[in-house]
């Protein structure tokens, strides 16, 4: 059920959406959306993405049983690699 989603950052439709979310500090209003793997690093840190991937693999029957990445895990892994590479550049 991994459907394509428009990226909230670059507005390109991506077949590997990564869920990102934010909460406004003042109003308490929040939003959730999807970003493509290269853009997810603007919303989530490399550490956060690594934790999300590790947590996903513990609860996802596909990842857990087959040891291979499902589309969600593949998107998180790709997003983490982008975030880690961007962090290493600084
Ligand atoms: Zn994007
Ligand atoms: Zn999975």
Looking at residue 29, its pLDDT comes to: 78
Looking at residue 90, its pLDDT comes to: 60
Looking at residue 27, its pLDDT comes to: 80
Which residues have CB less than 5 Å away from ligand 1 (the ion)? 7, 9-10, 36, 39
Instruction: Give mean pLDDT, residues 46-67.
Output: 95
Q: 70-83 burial, b if ≥16 CB within 10 A, otherwise e?
A: bebbbbbbbbbebb
The answer on pLDDT for 48 being more than 80 is yes
Q: Which ligand is closest in space to the CA of residue 75?
A: 2
pTM, two decimal places: 0.84
> Where residue 74 falls among pLDDT bands split at 50, 70, 90?
very high
């Amino acid at each position: 059920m991994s459907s394509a989603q428009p990226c909230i950052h670059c507005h390109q439709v991506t077949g590997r959406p990564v869920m990102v979310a934010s909460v406004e500090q003042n109003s308490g209003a929040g939003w959730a959306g999807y970003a493509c793997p290269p853009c997810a690093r603007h919303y989530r840190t490399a550490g956060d993405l690594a934790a999300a991937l590790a947590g996903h693999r513990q609860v996802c029957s596909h990842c857990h049983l087959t040891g291979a990445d499902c589309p969600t895990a593949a998107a998180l892994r790709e997003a983490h690699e982008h975030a880690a590479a961007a962090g290493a550049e600084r």
